[in-house]
Amino acid sequence: MSSARILVVDDEPQILRFLRPSLSAAGYNVITASNGTEALKLTADTAPDAILLDLGLPDIDGKDVIRRIRRWSQVPIIVVSARDREP
């Protein structure tokens, strides 16, 4: 039986270095993306079971990534962000 695929989207290498081994140790198959464009492509190509998404990405705002994914997928998305305040 295969483990759940988790797509982690963050442009901070230290966050990816922390989350990848932590999630892998818990039995998840971890896929990573460092920007929104890559996240959209990997979501379409790999059909992850869940996405951990930073809102502050270098190319596309994380909220826009969510809107685009929601046009064609209901994959669970967990926002993991260091933004102070969101309107």
Domains of the chain (ranges; CATH) run: 5-79 (3.40.50.2300)
Query: Whole-model pTM?
Result: 0.90
DSSP, residue by residue, 3-17: PPEEEEE-S-HHHHH
Give the C-alpha separation, 59 to 33, whole Å: 12
Give the C-alpha separation, 14 to 49, whole Å: 23
- Size of the chain, expressed as the number of residues it contains: 87
* Tokens 């930073």, located at residue: 54
Please give the pLDDT value at position 1.
44
pLDDT band at 81 (very low <50, low <70, confident <90, very high): confident
Give the C-alpha separation, 48 to 45, whole Å: 9
pLDDT digits (tens, 9 = 90+) for 5-32: 999 999 999 999 999 999 999 999 999 9
